Structure 1
């Protein structure tokens, strides 16, 4: 240990250097080896005024991480070795400002005249913020059974980068919300940790930028750019599979960030085990954290997605039309929202209200087969068919009569509205003045009686033929 005063030092700084050397030995025994190697070995003593110690960390992320996780421990250990209670501040120290103790740069003035080279709150070097879609936030993401785990994992890493699931691997088909969650993480981190450096890019962009860097002899700048971020978001990583040199660079970039405790999030159209042209070492690292899939949304989630998008865009659309779109378009959120925007645009251009007829025209022309669109009967068509079959009026079925014939017609209507018109239980209940559990009971009663009750089976068969499916 160097016990001599260095040029430009005072007694306080010498005491801090001695205390920090001893504190490092203590900390090495108090925290696990990976944490010590990642966070403490690179920290430097910066200043000590007798009451407040300032330590320098190599990145804004390291500042926040050590302050939150080990701040009390560092204060306790330094106070012990300094022989007095002190406050500790951990600040970001850019490479060019890190002091080399015992050396005075030739261009600097003598100690008595030179300006201080270290400030307590230095700004990090400029880092270009990622281009994120302003609409892709957690607030605008509709959560359902199909995406609940992925959303929860994304929110967890956004709230505490590098502390929960690292890496986070999200996979699913096109248009299901992977990119939305990636952007949402970026937005949240930048809002809550504005000093952290966030990079978002696709696997294809990484490959293209790597090739360009090689060609233009700027590979060091390329590595510096991505190996010093605090949160690395890489979308569509399947595009680097099969590109040997790109995979090698990708592996080392990921390894560097992972070992430094930086947050890494990947998205792909398939799980790690199905990335067959990816190296085993990469697949094993993908599988080291949380793997979360996003499946096609169920009907209720599709309805909620349409309602949320209509609210965001200020589109006035009847619930009946929303339910109809959700019934006709399955499996892709992007297409679902595209239908909504197209219908709204068509209504605006022609100065018409949004109706089922207009929705069917747009659906049949651009999105789904015309037969498929018209195969979904409206609620009015179902009620009319049931009324004609039993010789009843709509008021009879929707009213409170409890004769055997009316009860049977009412239950069959509820069954067909759910099974054929694909309406949600809550909406059916509103039509009949019932709660959703009553509707569910009627639906299950009819369903379990099919193929057992010949009369009921015949009625359902005839009505299905009338309704066209």
Structure 2
């Protein structure tokens, strides 16, 4: 049987998956697409130049071993990076890993043109003298890279943030979109980027603003008939940071004005940084032309930190506050508060406060009382694995059957229900849900959710399935 790019790459992935951490595999290998196989050269598509450089720096050995197993000693790997410039033209870039036995491969410096800049271009909207007006950045200096601890859950986002801070507007990450659930550090990270830029480039105008406040300012400008002044102001910003951009959903006027501001900043080499609680592909009621802009740069997900990272966060918090705490108590807190960094730090603050106010020693019993309050007040987060088990048990089938390629109607419906409940009960992206439920893509998950909604309103038996499983998951 002749080999295809997909089968070769799937075999490589099986080997890689067995030899690296699950989180690293998810971050660095799941987004890769196998493109073509020519003789002994496999071409793979990666999302950005940064992604390619990271693979070369950290995973070149394992890539070479896995590919040599599949294609022999003369195996070659070709990276394809597809970027879009301001006018929508594709800028392909390829780089080969040669079949030598070097432990690492140096990457060539390749300039990927991202924008057509004209040095004679003048901004017709700049109000004379406005450059002399001091614009407060609205940044919180307490949020820094030093106290944003790196782990598998945030490595891509943090590394991209450092790259942007070093060269704002001059990297492939424009815009840089940081997305993830509540309390995972999105706001902290974008403040840290802004603070670092201000330190390195004091002359640059940096502005942090929430999407909610941006919307309110726009509404006020329309009321006062000075919409143009609003636009002019934002067009002179060098680094624009907008928090919770999903808040623009359904607000067509604000989206339209942001679209024009974004285009102007991007074309003039200014940096745009955004945060959202979901990936661009999952955003509802945001215009396609705006979503396509979000995809020009890098979308980096902040995920739930693993146990080791949570322990590091707690220890760092205690060190900054000058407090000592026994390791068994730190471990207990980190094991029991999993989904939210903000709550993790809140529990530590509460523990210190309880101890201080009541003049009690910090003990494991005190930790249990504090943690119990936090966990009780937090809605239990259901995992995708748990959802698949509940749905499979309900329909009396194995999880492997649920995830299989079969098109039998009752199995397809069970799979669609698992996807529907994963979207309802977890913060995972559609792509992540699809990947975990039978290695499907985000479009399949979206279709599954629509199908479940339609069947629930037209089929009484199917509605009973939904109600029964909802009860089981809500216990």
For normalisation by structure 1, the TM-score amounts to 0.54
Equivalent position to 1:125, from 110, 128, 132: 132
Assess, with a 3 A threshold, how the Cα gap between structure 1 residues 293 and 352 changes in structure 2: closer, same or farther: same
Paired residues for 1:156-305 under 5 Å: 156-164=163-171, 165-305=173-313
**Displacement of 1:124 after TM fit?**
4.6
**Displacement of 1:251 after TM fit?**
0.7
Task: Give a deviation string over 1:330-387, Cα, whole Å, max 9, x none.
Answer: 11001000000000011110112211111111122343489x9xxxxxxxxxxxxxxx
* Unaligned segments of structure 1, at least 5 residues: 1-30, 44-57, 60-93, 98-122, 373-469
Partner of 1:134: 141
Mapped to 1, the partners of 2:166 and 2:235 lie a distance apart of 21
**DSSP-derived class of the 1:247 partner:** helix
Q: Is the Cα–Cα contact under 8 Å of residues 339 and 367 in structure 1 kept in the other structure?
A: no
**DSSP-derived class of the 2:296 partner:** coil
Assess, with a 3 A threshold, how the Cα gap between structure 1 residues 180 and 34 changes in structure 2: closer, same or farther: closer
Q: Is the Cα–Cα contact under 8 Å of residues 329 and 368 in structure 1 kept in the other structure?
A: no
Equivalent position to 1:309, from 306, 317, 341: 317
Mapped to 2, the partners of 1:200 and 1:132 lie a distance apart of 6
Assess, with a 3 A threshold, how the Cα gap between structure 1 residues 318 and 198 changes in structure 2: closer, same or farther: same
Assess, with a 3 A threshold, how the Cα gap between structure 1 residues 40 and 95 changes in structure 2: closer, same or farther: farther
**Displacement of 1:271 after TM fit?**
0.5
**Displacement of 1:218 after TM fit?**
2.4
**Displacement of 1:33 after TM fit?**
9.6
**Displacement of 1:95 after TM fit?**
7.1
Q: Is the Cα–Cα contact under 8 Å of residues 178 and 186 in structure 2 kept in the other structure?
A: yes
**Displacement of 1:266 after TM fit?**
0.9
Partner of 1:344: 352
Mapped to 1, the partners of 2:128 and 2:231 lie a distance apart of 18
For normalisation by structure 2, the TM-score amounts to 0.53
**Displacement of 1:220 after TM fit?**
2.3
Mapped to 1, the partners of 2:232 and 2:308 lie a distance apart of 46
**Displacement of 1:133 after TM fit?**
2.2
Q: Is the Cα–Cα contact under 8 Å of residues 210 and 246 in structure 1 kept in the other structure?
A: yes
Q: Is the Cα–Cα contact under 8 Å of residues 199 and 226 in structure 1 kept in the other structure?
A: no
**Displacement of 1:222 after TM fit?**
1.3
Task: Give a deviation string over 1:232-261, Cα, whole Å, max 9, x none.
Answer: 111100001101111111111111111111
Q: Is the Cα–Cα contact under 8 Å of residues 328 and 368 in structure 1 kept in the other structure?
A: no
Assess, with a 3 A threshold, how the Cα gap between structure 1 residues 245 and 195 changes in structure 2: closer, same or farther: same
Equivalent position to 2:120, from 32, 41, 44: 41
Mapped to 2, the partners of 1:197 and 1:137 lie a distance apart of 18
**DSSP-derived class of the 2:141 partner:** coil
Paired residues for 1:277-426 under 5 Å: 277-368=285-376
Which 4+ residue blocks in structure 1 deviate beyond 4 angstroms?
31-35, 94-97
Partner of 1:70: none
How many residue pairs get matched? 267
Assess, with a 3 A threshold, how the Cα gap between structure 1 residues 332 and 32 changes in structure 2: closer, same or farther: closer
Root mean square deviation of aligned Cα: 2.6
Q: Which protein is bigger by CA-based radius of gyration? A: 1
Mapped to 2, the partners of 1:369 and 1:223 lie a distance apart of 42
**DSSP-derived class of the 1:292 partner:** strand
**Displacement of 1:170 after TM fit?**
1.0
Partner of 2:155: 148
* Unaligned segments of structure 2, at least 5 residues: 1-110, 381-475
